[in-house]
Structure 1
């Protein structure tokens, strides 16, 4: 019974993390700001870190769920 919510949450986290990494990579490649009013290297690093964390959490939930 608990595997259904874990699979849904894992898919949501993995998709959000992948989309965040794709968006960040695209913005950096185009040399556009990642966040409004923030330093580009710092914002890109933080955003990529959170993208990896979300994608990792999603994969972990999918593997254990």
Structure 2
């Protein structure tokens, strides 16, 4: 019964983290700003770090199932 919420949370976190990493990579490769009005390298690094953390959290949720 408790695995349902863990599967949902894992799927949501994994999809969001993967999409955030993909979006950051595409924006960086096209030399487009990741965040408007911010330092480009800092914004790309923080966004990639956040995406990796959320992706890791999603995989952790799947590991708890």
Same fold, judged at TM 0.5 (above): yes
Structure 1: 4+ residue segments shifted above 3 A:
none
Post-superposition shift, 1:7? 0.5
**What TM-score do the two structures reach when normalised by structure 1?**
0.97
Q: Aligned residues, how many?
A: 65
- Structure 2: give runs of 5+ residues left out of the alignment: none
Deviation digits for residues 13-42 of structure 1 (CA, Å, limit 9, x no counterpart): 000000000000000000000001011100
Q: Quote the residue 1:7 is aligned against.
A: 7
Please tell me whether residue 36 in structure 1 is matched to residue 36 in structure 2: yes
**What TM-score do you get using the length of structure 2 for normalisation?**
0.97
Shift of 1:44: 0.2
| Separation of aligned partners in 2, 1:45 and 1:24 | 9
Match in the other structure for 1:18: 18
Flag structure 1 segments of 5+ consecutive residues without an equivalent.
Answer: none
Looking at structure 2, the residues matched to 34 and 55 of structure 1 have their Cα atoms a distance apart, in angstroms, of 19
